[in-house]
Amino acid sequence: MTKRTGIVKGNIFLTHIPGEGCPDTPERLQSIYSMLTDPDMQDIFVDVLPQRAAKEDILLFHTHEYVEKIAETKGKSLIAFTGDTHASENTFEAALHATGGLLNAISLVAAKKIENAFALIRPPGHHAEKSRAMGYCLFNHVVLGAMFAQERLKLGRILIIDWDIHHGNGTQHAFQRDPTVLFFSVHQAGLFPGTGSFTDTGSGAGEGYTINLPIPKGSGDAEYAAIFEQLLAPVAEQFAPELILVSAGFDIHSDDPMGGMRLTAEGFAAMTASIKKIADTVCNGKFVMSLEGGYHCDALSGSVKAVLKEMAGVTHCDVSAMAAKADKKKMAFIVRRCIDVHKHSWNFS
C-alpha cells in the first residue's frame, strides 16, 4: 500500500499541563498515541515532524504583543489567561510546535509529497482570537495554517470545516471579511462561546463565505452525514478550494461529557469520507485535519482511528446510506434555515 496519509505527533504536546480541572489533559493524546501502536495501524502512515513554528508565521494572525504575552509564560508554573485557559512552563513550546507541525503537514500536502494529514496536537486552537486566549486555546493553528498556505505557499482559496461541538469563534472572526476563505461550521446550538448563529454569514467582501449551522443536541451520525452531503458538498464544489483544512473536534461523540451530540466512530468516518470525496473532486485530494476537542479518551482514540483509516483508504464508508437514515424533521429545519440565509450566495440544488 502506498503511504499517503501523514500524522503529526510528538511528546512535546504532552508537556502542556493546563492546570487542575481542565479537560484538555495530556491523557487525551496519550490515548491516541497508544492507539497508533495497534496492529491494524502499522505501516500505513507517514510521520510528520512537529517543527517549531517561526515567530513570523505566528504573526501572520496574532499580534506581537499577544505572542510576547504567551512567551512570557515559559518556565512559569501556572498562568491564567481566562477562567478555563491556562499556560504552564512548557505550554509556549508545545503551542509553537503544534502550529509548526500543522504548517509542516500543510507544506507536504501542498507539495503532493503526501495526500492528506492529521495533526494530532494540543493545546487546541479554534477559539483563539488575534490577541486573546480562550477555550483552552492559545494559538489558532487552523487560521495560521490557512494564512501560511496563502502567504507562504501561494495557494488561493481555502475551505475550513469545523465539526467541533463548540463554534470556532476565532476562526470565523479571522476570515469574516475574506472571500478567499470559506468557513463552514457545524456545532451544537446554545453552547460556549455563544457565537455562530445561522445569520452570522460574514461581512463586506466576505458576506456569504461564513456558513454556520448551530444544530440541536441529539443529532447523530446520520444527521451529520446528511449535512455534509446536502449542504457542504454543493457549496464546496462551487467554491472550489485549493486546500481543505478541518478543525476536528471529537466532543460530538455520544460518550463525550461536553455536550449532547450522538456521534459514534462510524459518524466520524462518514464525515471524513465526505470530505475526502469533496477534496478528490476539487483539489486533488488535498486536505489536512487539526485536532480540537474530544474529552472522553476511549471515544477519542476510537474515533480518530476511524478517521485515519478513512483518510488512508483502508476503509470506505457509505455516506449516502448513512445520510438516508437522518431524522427528516431535524434535517428539514437545518436545511431550510441554511438555504433561507444563503440562497443568494450559493446554489444548494
- Whether the pLDDT of residue 8 is over 80: the answer is yes
CB 287 within 8 A of CB 279: yes
Secondary structure letter of residue 254 according to DSSP: T
Distance CA 202, CA 182 (A): 10
Produce one character per residue of 84-111: b if its CB has 16 or more CB atoms within 10 Å, e if not: bbbbbbbbbbbbbbbbbbbbbbbbbbbe
Residues above pLDDT 90, as percent of the chain: 98
pLDDT at residue 2, as a whole number: 63
pLDDT tens by residue, 146-177: 999 999 999 999 999 999 999 999 999 999 99
Whole-model pTM?
Answer: 0.98
Cell numbers linked to 16: 502542556
Sequential DSSP letters for 181-222: EEEEEEEETT-TT----TT----GGGTTSEEEEEEPTT-BHH
Mean pLDDT of 292-306: 98
- Say which amino acid occupies 278: I
CB 84 within 8 A of CB 35: no
Sequential DSSP letters for 68-87: HHHHTTTT-S-EESSSS-EE
Distance CA 203, CA 44 (A): 43
pLDDT tens by residue, 91-120: 999 999 999 999 999 999 999 999 999 999
- Helix residue spans in the chain (DSSP H): 26-35, 55-58, 64-71, 91-110, 141-151, 169-175, 221-227, 233-239, 265-282, 297-311, 319-323, 328-342
Concerning whether 342 is annotated as a catalytic residue, the answer is no
pLDDT-derived band at 19 (thresholds 50, 70, 90) equals confident
Which domains are delineated in the chain?
Answer: 5-342 (3.40.800.20)
pLDDT tens by residue, 205-259: 999 999 999 999 999 999 999 999 999 999 999 999 999 999 999 999 999 999 9
pLDDT at residue 207, as a whole number: 98
Per the omega criterion (within 30 degrees of 0), is the bond before 124 cis? Answer: no
Bin 142: left if φ > 0, else alpha if -120 < ψ < 50, else beta.
alpha
Length of the chain: 349
Q: Which of 86, 97, 126, 127 is catalytic?
A: 127
Nearest to 270 by CA among 218, 309, 219: 309
- Whether the pLDDT of residue 1 is over 60: the answer is no
Sequential DSSP letters for 270-296: HHHHHHHHHHHHHSTT-EEEEE-----
CB 221 within 8 A of CB 322: yes
Distance CA 196, CA 122 (A): 23
Mean pLDDT of 68-72: 98
